């Protein structure tokens, strides 16, 4: 007598791989586990340990946290892009927000400049470490 397999997918539902699902959602998993929106990017050009982000996803005059990564990317002026390590130098929390041209650490309230990562408000005593960033067409590649 065959046993039922309660965790198997019904025969009428096609199997979808993780990769297919991510592509359908416009996301690519890059080394390090980060998920970034890719648009029509070519992940083959991404350095190991780095993430690719469309420039269109970086607000002018502000920046964006790359979720599930160690990086925040900023656009302080036209065609200027900077990347910083998200680890706050105060106690190591990950900075979590960019607003009003400032990168914010919610743990104890430090604020950092989107222009150079310097401290605007403590308790952090030093700024965010800059991360490698290269522009590649309509994307930036950060880290690696
Ligand atoms: S860890 Fe960021 S302010 Fe304390």
Question: What's the CATH number where 67 sits?
Answer: 2.102.10.10
Q: Kindly report, residue by residue over 91-108, the tens digit of the pLDDT.
A: 999 999 999 999 999 999
- Nearest residue (by CA) to ligand 1, atom 1, is 91
Q: Is 49 left (phi over 0), alpha (psi -120 to 50) or beta?
A: left
What is the number of structural domains in the chain?
A: 1
* C-alpha to C-alpha distance for 45 and 134, rounded to whole angstroms: 11
Q: Is 27 exposed, middle or buried (0-12, 13-18, 19+ CB in 10 A)?
A: middle
- The predicted pLDDT at position 144 comes to 78
- The predicted pLDDT at position 45 comes to 44
Residue 51 belongs to a domain: yes
- Nearest residue (by CA) to ligand 1, atom 4, is 108
Q: Kindly report, residue by residue over 19-78, the tens digit of the pLDDT.
A: 433 333 334 444 433 444 333 333 344 455 789 999 999 999 999 999 888 999 999 999
- The predicted pLDDT at position 42 comes to 33
- The predicted pLDDT at position 49 comes to 75
Give the domain range for residue 52. 18-143
**Ramachandran angles phi, psi of 65, nearest 5°:** -80, 130
- The predicted pLDDT at position 40 comes to 32
Residue 4 belongs to a domain: no
Residue 6 belongs to a domain: no
CA of 81 to the centre of ligand 1 (A): 24
Residue 11 belongs to a domain: no
- Ligand 1 atom closest to the Cα of residue 93 is 1
In this predicted structure, the answer to whether residue 14 has a pLDDT above a threshold of 80 is no
In this predicted structure, the answer to whether residue 90 has a pLDDT above a threshold of 90 is yes
- The predicted pLDDT at position 28 comes to 42
Contact 93, 107 (CB under 8 A): yes
* C-alpha to C-alpha distance for 8 and 21, rounded to whole angstroms: 18
Residue 110 belongs to a domain: yes
Q: Is 119 in the pocket of ligand 1 (CB under 6 A)?
A: no
Contact 24, 18 (CB under 8 A): no
- The predicted pLDDT at position 123 comes to 98
Q: Kindly report, residue by residue over 108-143, the tens digit of the pLDDT.
A: 999 999 999 999 999 999 999 999 999 999 999 999
CA of 89 to the centre of ligand 1 (A): 7
Q: Is 129 in the pocket of ligand 1 (CB under 6 A)?
A: no
- The predicted pLDDT at position 39 comes to 32
Q: What are 134's strand-pairing partners?
A: 141
Q: Is 105 in the pocket of ligand 1 (CB under 6 A)?
A: yes
Which residue shows structure tokens 């979808």?
16
Residue 5 belongs to a domain: no
């Amino acid at each position: 007598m065959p046993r039922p397999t309660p965790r198997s997918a019904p025969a009428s539902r096609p199997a979808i791989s993780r990769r297919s699902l991510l592509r359908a959602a416009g996301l690519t998993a890059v080394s390090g586990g980060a998920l970034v929106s890719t648009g029509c990017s070519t992940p083959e050009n991404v350095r190991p340990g780095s993430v690719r982000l469309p420039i269109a996803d970086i607000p002018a005059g502000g920046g964006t946290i790359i979720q599930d990564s160690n990086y925040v990317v900023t656009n302080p002026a036209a065609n200027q892009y900077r990347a910083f390590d998200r680890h706050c130098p105060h106690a190591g929390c990950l900075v979590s927000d960019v607003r009003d041209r400032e990168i914010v650490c919610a743990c104890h309230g430090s604020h950092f400049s989107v222009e150079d990562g310097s401290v605007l408000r403590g308790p952090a005593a030093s700024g965010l470490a800059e991360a490698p960033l290269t522009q590649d067409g309509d994307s930036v590649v950060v880290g690696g």
